[in-house]
Chain A
Amino acid sequence: MSVQSASPAATDYAAATDEQSIATAAKARLRRRKAWVLTAQIGVAVIGLGAWQLGTVTGTVDPFFFGSPLGIVLRLIDWFTNGTAYGSFWLQIWITLEEALLGFVGGVVSGIVVGVLLGEVPFLADVIGPYIKIVNALPRIVLGSIFVMWLGLGLPSKVLLAAVLVFFVVFFNAFQGVRSVDRNLVANARILGASRLQVVQHVVFPSAMTWIIASLHVALGFSIIGAIVGEFLGAQNGLGLVIATSQNTFDANGVFGAMLVIGVLALGAEGIMSLIEKRLLAWKPKSASESTVQGL
């Protein structure tokens, strides 16, 4: 009796002696574990949402302030079918996406260009450095107010705010990346006959790329934040405006609903980003941590 109730892994190993069956057993164990994790994850969601819904039904949670899962779903269905006061819901999503993407691209490109330039030219870095630090020390969100004043309620003010947020993240990484290029690689390229531009193109930039790519995940989040905060401060369209309007009419379901949509967008963008990253860093050896980390 006691022998049979011993851990199943032990019996797995006892039964399997050749390498192949050990490998299959290990794979099966891994699959079982994955299935368990997924079940538990779904369980957490069901319990959390269920408790919330139950609370609103029984009256322990005030649905006026806290909304309810069902209310959020109904609100979203209403938005998607009937649209909002300022056009279809798809349009709001598209506007926010457009602002975030344009801001992302603008911020990334300018961040890389300025970062590589200052990293390569120490004189420029010494002169411009303090100013960049000053601007960086500002809470950059307040720049949004100025941008709305300058550029109006349309698209450009949000794009600019998103781009500024993205710029600093990418800039500091690009700069650091350029500064930490292996001096041997640069020396070798120069001896092989590379011009300064060729050194930047073939050695410095690709080497800094690892750093830059690491910053892109954060930058992507910032671009969405920039777009939404910009819309909060003043806009004619966009998910930020949807949230602001819901807030002003005490529509908790609306706020949560828009939040959910933004979350889905951010996750989707994050997924695409990971694919791009994988592609760009295909040359990298898999690090030990990468291959063993599960879940997060």
Chain B
Amino acid sequence: MADLGVGGVEMRKVTKRFVTPTGAAMTAIHDIDLVVEPGQFCAIVGPTGCGKSTTLTLAAGLERASAGSVKVSGKPVEGITKDASFVFQTDALLPWKPVEANVALGPMFRGAAKSDALALARDWLKVVGLSGFEHHYPHQLSGGMRKRVSLAAALINKPSILLMDEPFSALDVQTRAIMSNELLALWERTRPSVMFVTHDLEEAIALADKVVVITAGPGTVKAVFDVDLPRPRGAVQEIRFAPRFLELYQQIWEALREEVERAYSRTSLANNSARASA
């Protein structure tokens, strides 16, 4: 297949093993094949501990693949991927810096003058609706507001690919719906490619163009579903009632359920045997 353009991600037969401190090897993902086209919103779902997050760290260049090839924007990943931004489950804001300084970190690390970086940061805070909170410290904001700051901090670098690791799972249900809408609106402004890891299938379908189901660990791609719901999607709360949404949900859930059950029986088996041996 030809190289994908800027922001595209291509993973071929990617395997990642970790070596535990005791010396045992653990395979997190195994022979993953995954393509995210430029500008595509790709959601990755799978049971707990299947290595969903590992695929993101490989795309970001935080970890090296043990085997296989990882390409971003057509180039093999060596070192930290340029043009990528990451949004973590727990917000990765520096608690000792005010909000605007946190958002300004990206441009500053890339050599912008401090005043320029701060001005740009204030613009982005306006975009995410946080004007007036520039000088607050992160702990003075609510969870949803902190998430907006994280989004602004991630988008300020104009990434061609946005990596999101269960970004909204720490939020309450209402805030989560609001943040999903805001994410879609922001995404439509600059249209980076997105790899969005979640364990929430509804969230995945409501947001994404494509849903990738990963098997129970060691994770590999089980199935890929195209989500043909029209864009712009509007409120994610409402699209959940669309007939096509329910159809897709049923299809994908069929594939996902087996894996979830397998992962669950494995952990409960482990618990039982641990109890028996105790």
For residue A189, CB closer than 8 A to chain B, the reply is: yes
Complex Cα distance A198/B204, Å? 35
Q: Is A17 an interface residue (CB 8 A)?
A: no
Are the CB atoms of B139 and A285 closer together than 8 Å? yes
Contact of A191 among B84, B95, B96 (CB under 8 A): B84
Given the complex of chains A and B, what is the CA–CA distance between A283 and B157 in angstroms?
26
Taking the closest CB of chain B, its distance from the CB of A219, in whole angstroms, is: 21
Binary B-proximity of A178-210 (CB < 8 A = 1, otherwise 0): 000010110111111111001000110011010
- Residues from chain B with a CB closer than 8 A to the CB of A189 are 105, 109
A193 touches B92 (CB 8 A): no
Tell me which of A185, A193, A206 has the highest count of chain B C-beta atoms within 10 A of its own C-beta. Answer: A193
Q: A191-B62, A191-B84 are in contact. Are A184 and B92 (CB under 8 A)?
A: yes
Is A284 engaged at the interface, CB distance under 8 Å to the other chain? yes
A187 and B110 in contact, given A206-B94, A284-B95 (Cβ under 8 angstroms): no
Which listed residue (B81, B92, B157) contacts A185, Cβ 8 A? B92
Known: A192-B157, A206-B94, A283-B95. A187 touches B105 (CB 8 A): no
Interface majority SS (helix, strand, loop, mixed), chain A: helix
Count of A-B residue pairs with CB < 8 Å: 63
In the docked arrangement, what's the CA distance between A184 and B88, Å? 8
Q: A188 to B88, Cβ gap below 8 A?
A: yes
Q: Given A184-B88, A184-B90, A185-B92, A191–B60 Cβ distance below 8 Å?
A: yes
With A187-B62, A188-B88, A283-B137 known as contacts, the answer to whether A193 contacts B94 (CB < 8 A) is no
A: interface residue count bin: 20 to 34
CB of A203 within 8 A of CB of B94, answer: yes
B84, B85, B106, B109, most chain A CB atoms within 10 A: B109
Q: With A184-B88, A202-B94, A284-B95 known to touch, is A193 a contact of B62 (CB < 8 Å)?
A: no
Q: Quick check: is B80 within 8 A (CB to CB) of the other chain?
A: yes
Of chain B, the residue at the smallest CB distance from A185 is B92
Query: Which A-chain residue is minimally distant from B88 (CB atoms)?
Result: A184
Contact (Cβ within 8 A) A193 B157? yes
**Given that A185-B92, A206-B94, A284-B95 are known contacts, is A195 also in contact with B86, CB under 8 Å in the complex?**
no
State the majority secondary structure of interface residues on B: loop
Task: Tell me if B184 is interfacial: C-beta within 8 Å of chain A.
Answer: no
Number of B positions contacting A (CB below 8 A): 26
Quote the shortest CB–CB distance from A208 to chain B (angstroms).
11
The 0/1 profile, CB within 8 Å of A marked 1, for residues 219-254 of chain B is 000000000000000000000000000000000000
Interface string of A137-179 (1 = CB under 8 A from B): 0000000000000000000000000000000000000000000
Are A191 and B94 closer than 8 Å at their CB atoms?
no
Q: Given the interface contacts A184-B88, A283-B137, A285-B139, does A190 sit within 8 Å of B80 by beta carbon? A: yes
Q: How far is the CB of A196 from chain B (nearest CB, A)?
A: 11
| Minimal beta-carbon separation of A186 from chain B (angstroms) | 9
In this complex, what residue of A is CB-closest to B79?
A190
Which residues between 56 and 110 of chain B lie within 8 Å of chain A, taking CB atoms?
57, 60, 62, 80-82, 84-86, 88, 90, 92, 94-98, 105-106, 109-110
Residues of B within 8 A of A182 (CB): 92
Instruction: Please report the C-alpha to C-alpha distance between residue A195 and residue B139 in the assembled complex, in whole angstroms.
Output: 26
Cα distance, A288 to B60, chains bound together (Å): 38
Q: Judging by beta carbons under 8 Å apart, are B95 and A192 in contact? A: no
Which B residues lie within 8 Å of A202 (CB)? 94, 105
Distance A194 CA – B139 CA, assembled complex (angstroms): 23
Q: Does B153 contact A (CB under 8 A)?
A: yes
* Across-interface contacts of A283 in B (CB, < 8 A): 95-98, 137, 139
Shortest B72–chain A CB gap in Å is 12
Known interface pairs A184-B92, A202-B94, A202-B105. Does A191 touch B86 (Cβ–Cβ under 8 Å)? yes
CB distance from B122 to the nearest CB of A (A): 18
Contact of A198 with B95 in the complex, beta carbons under 8 Å? no
Closest to A203 in B: B94
Among A188, A191, A195, A203, max chain B CB count under 10 A is at A191
17 CB contacts below 8 A, A to B, read: A184-B88, A184-B90, A185-B92, A185-B94, A187-B57, A187-B62, A188-B86, A189-B105, A191-B62, A191-B84, A191-B86, A192-B105, A192-B110, A206-B96, A207-B96, A283-B96, A285-B139
Closest 3 CB pairs of A and B: A188-B92, A193-B109, A194-B109
